[in-house]
Amino acid sequence: MTVRSTPRTHSFRMASWIGGVVLLACLAFTQARAKLEEQSAADLPFAVLQAGDTLPDVLLADHVGDTASISRLFKGKCAVAHFFLSTCPACRHHAAKWSGMDSIQVGGRPYPIVWVGLMADTAAFSFMADYDLGGQLMLVRTLQEWTELGIYRTPMIYFLDQQILLANLPPAPSRIDTVSVACTY
């Protein structure tokens, strides 16, 4: 007796095969991420900035192409620098929570938000508009400068006192006011 393959069994086999491939891809991603998290900061191919570190004085460009160094942009003030990429799923997920905000409470005081994208990310402006993100948008010119700033994932949020990193902040704005930091301004 021969068993005939019907369209229904063929669809079931195809769905099972696709499900298996997706499962293997998820396992490989999980293992790769765990391996990256196990590496020490010295092993990583980029800077990892901690509280108390001074950010490198790279040039950032605004929406019309004017540039400002980090030391000039943050001179005499504390601010939240929110690093993002428009193609980042986590950035899109959290962006809705930042909608309409041009400042945020940190330690009970409001501080301005500076959104920092990568100049090669051509959708950065539309990302800001799509999510109604307030605050200033500045763009890092090169991927090398991006990694010098310690950006190894997005979103990454720094609380800065001038050019000094005071704290790495959580991506959800509702959890940021619980951070206890002292700013001199």
Q: Please, what is the average pLDDT of the chain?
A: 80
Q: With respect to residue 11, please indicate whether it lies within any of the assigned structural domains.
A: yes
- Mean pLDDT of all residues in 51-78: 90
**End-to-end CA separation in angstroms for the chain:** 85
Q: 145 and 47 in contact (C-beta within 8 Å)?
A: no
Give the number of domains in the chain: 2
**Residue 139 is part of which domain span?**
43-176
Looking at the structure, do residues 152 and 87 belong to the same domain, yes or no?
yes
In the prediction, which pLDDT does 49 show?
87
50 contact partners, CB below 8 Å, separation of at least 6 = 165, 168
pLDDT class of 17 with cuts at 50, 70, 90: low
Q: CA 149 to CA 84: how far, in whole Å? A: 13
Q: Which of 116, 93, 97, 113 is nearest to 105 (CA)?
A: 113
Looking at the structure, do residues 30 and 86 belong to the same domain, yes or no?
no
Q: pLDDT tens across 37-53, in order?
A: 444 444 555 568 888 99
* Angle, vertex CA 86, rays to CA 70 and CA 63, nearest 5: 45
Looking at the structure, do residues 149 and 83 belong to the same domain, yes or no?
yes
Q: With respect to residue 183, please indicate whether it lies within any of the assigned structural domains.
A: no
Q: Which of 55, 53, 183 is nearest to 110 (CA)?
A: 183
Q: Quickly list H helices, the chain.
A: 7-38, 70-73, 89-95, 124-130, 143-148, 173-176
Residue length, the chain?
A: 185
CB burial of 146-166 (b: ≥16 within 10 Å; e: otherwise) equals bebbbbbebbbbbbbbbbbbb
Q: CA 115 to CA 137: how far, in whole Å? A: 5
Q: 117 and 142 in contact (C-beta within 8 Å)?
A: no
Q: pLDDT tens across 133-160, in order?
A: 999 999 999 999 999 999 988 999 999 9
Q: With respect to residue 181, please indicate whether it lies within any of the assigned structural domains.
A: no
51 contact partners, CB below 8 Å, separation of at least 6 = 165, 166, 167, 168
Q: CA 165 to CA 168: how far, in whole Å? A: 8
Q: With respect to residue 182, please indicate whether it lies within any of the assigned structural domains.
A: no
